[in-house]
Amino acid sequence: MSNSIKKKEDKEKTEDVLKALSKKSYEHEFYTPLPPGYEAGRTKFIIITGSVMSGLGKGIFSASLARVLEDYGLRASPMKFDGYLNVDAGTLNPYRHGEVFVLDSGLECDMDLGTYERFLDKNLGDENYLTGGKIFTRVLSMERKGKYLGRDVQFIPHVTGEIKRFVRTLALNTKADVVLIEVGGTVGDIENQYFIEAMRQLAYEEGRDNTCFVNLTYILEPRFLGEQKSKAAQLGIRRLMGLGVQPDIIACRATNPVSEKVREKISIYSNVPFKNVLSMHDRESIYYVPDMIREAKLDRVVLETLNITNAREDKKRREMWASFVERLKNRKREITIGITGKYTGVRDSYASILKALEHAGASLRTKVNVKWIETTEIERKPEILEEKMSGVDAIVVPGGFGKRGSDGKIMCVRYARENRIPFLGLCFGFQMAIVEFARDVCGLDGANSTELDKETPYPVIDLLPEQKKIEGLGGNMRLGGFDVSVSKNTLAFKLYKDTTIRERFRHRYECNPKYIKLLEEKGLVFSGRSPKHEIMQILELPDHPFFIATQFHPEFTSRPLRPNPLFKGIVEAAISRKEKK
């Protein structure tokens, strides 16, 4: 039978299955709502699961694979499922979950969506992120409206049906050739089982050539043994198979390259061909992973599994990425930038900042080393500030919420200002820069943010009543992408080279308009403002080598091939300072 005939027959079978499943008969046991206009077989689906442990890098793997597929001219749409009952990631503690990433739409989501945006160099939307809380909210809302025709609402078919609707809607709305679905957590987590069941059903309904399951597993290598052990990986994969899912590809995460012997064991135990069991070991940068995928010929395996025969590699896209990787590998200088935060014990809390510095460093062929400076420690022992600041060529004061560590951040801002160290403040760092300037330059003793001290005599940072009128998400939180008007003849204009820019925000408090005139009279320049409201968004000090802070989060818009101008600026300033020493 020719391939074209087989492909046609498979598509017809898939369409027949979907037509049968979507019947709205009261007595029908299936529930597979299809979005209007959905065409069976138009989109391919890759489902990525993890076993043994979480934190394997499923997001990095998904983003890298999506990048490689787009290099073949395919339109890839990634999505992440988190089993948490939170509706979004906005209330998650960075210590427990890492950084909260913010989309241009204002959605607060998992940091993996930041990884997707960086690798694909495109903005994602609300439809790229799903949580348990989000899907249950939808199901319960529909039940209250009588949309289930009096049926007893169950995990199967209703919850699984709504999950499949969400996935297919993403495929339809983004006109995706391939949708990559990352299942957060690990196989065996109670909160993931209904989602994996939905993916099993999706594969059954879409047809064999339209779905591909990839399992990331972990190969242990205990130091006291001195060898790699695969038993935990075998049991994790068997757990997945027990849920009715036969993986097509096994990617083995490990510290060192996975041995052939271990890959053979995994192959035998999982019914996965040996050539489809791959080593995905640690590399110096996550941006080397797309090349690892190509070297392992995983791209060819995926295309064959999904019966994609018309893909042709876009050499220009491939060369652009290769050029970026080459600059990463061949950096000619090093600098050290201090990150002064209060979540320094969990590096994922500042993931986007680290990546933005890496992007800027690569563009300048410079390796950026990070020195972590815990501001709560500086609060307890101010005398160690000088020691902590030694050896840094620049500092970044990142965002955050709450009083803990805030005085330590203010001390770091003052040190950078007085010692002419290149400084970049982000969100809360912007607010602390205003507090420091108000206290130490304007003479407003006790000046503070009302978030930190409701009784402050000089509330230079305050929650503005006007905000409540213009915000539509997160209560009074200002979330998502907004335009910023940049003044000419300023450092901000020199960096951005434009008078209108768009950046992403996540904050409640603003510079109090009552104090703007005084701050400006004393030398502070507000070089970026809201086009429609009296909201200060960028500040700088003209008589300082590099002192700039933003109410927004520029790290969220930095990309490997397009570093954010502010991060490129601080890396350049750090290079200049080091060369003058």
pLDDT in tens, 490-514: 999 999 999 999 999 998 899 999 9
Active-site annotation holds for 555: yes
Q: Which two tokens stand for residue 199?
A: 């993916």
> What does the pLDDT read at residue 485?
97
> What does the pLDDT read at residue 25?
45
Residue tagged 């601080």 (tokens):
570
Q: Which two tokens stand for residue 88?
A: 């979004």
Active-site annotation holds for 252: no
Confidence of residue 437 (pLDDT cuts 50, 70, 90): very high
Confidence of residue 474 (pLDDT cuts 50, 70, 90): very low
As a whole number of angstroms, the distance between CA 396 and CA 413 comes to 9
Distance of CA 71 to the CA centre of its chain: 21
* Mean local confidence (pLDDT), 279-303: 94
Point out the catalytic residue in the list 412, 427, 442, 511.
427
Point out the catalytic residue in the list 117, 379, 436, 555.
555
3-state secondary structure of 507: strand
Question: What would the pLDDT profile of 25-53 be if each residue is shown by its tens digit?
Answer: 445 666 678 899 998 889 999 999 999 98
CATH of 43-322, one of 3.40.50.720, 3.50.50.60, 3.40.190.10, 3.40.50.300: 3.40.50.300
Query: What is the CATH class of 331-580?
Result: alpha beta
Residue tagged 């950026």 (tokens):
368
0.95 surpassed by pTM: no
Query: Which sequence spans correspond to the domains of the chain?
Result: 43-322, 331-580
Main-chain dihedrals φ then ψ at residue 56, nearest 5 degrees: -80, -15
Q: In terms of C-beta density within 10 A (0-12 exposed, 13-18 middle, 19 or more buried), how is residue 26 classed?
A: exposed
- b/e map of 218-250 (b: 16 or more CB within 10 Å)? bbbeeeeeeebebeebbebbeebbeeebebbbb
Residue tagged 């009128």 (tokens):
469
C-alpha angle with apex 177: 174 to 180, nearest 5 degrees?
A: 80
Question: What would the pLDDT profile of 166-214 be if each residue is shown by its tens digit?
Answer: 999 999 999 999 999 999 989 988 999 999 999 999 999 998 899 999 9
Distance of CA 289 to the CA centre of its chain: 16
Bridge partner list, 504: 481
Domains 43-322 and 331-580 share a fold: yes
- Inter-residue long-range contacts of 150-159, CB under 8 Å, 24+ positions, other chains counted: 150/26, 151/26, 155/194, 155/197, 156/194, 156/197, 157/29, 157/30, 157/31, 157/32, 158/31, 159/135, 159/194, 159/198
Q: How large a percentage of the chain has pLDDT more than 70?
A: 91
Write the CB contacts of 496 (distance below 8 Å, at least 6 apart in sequence): 486, 565
E strand or H helix at 44, and its extent?
A: strand 44-50
As a whole number of angstroms, the distance between CA 549 and CA 547 comes to 7
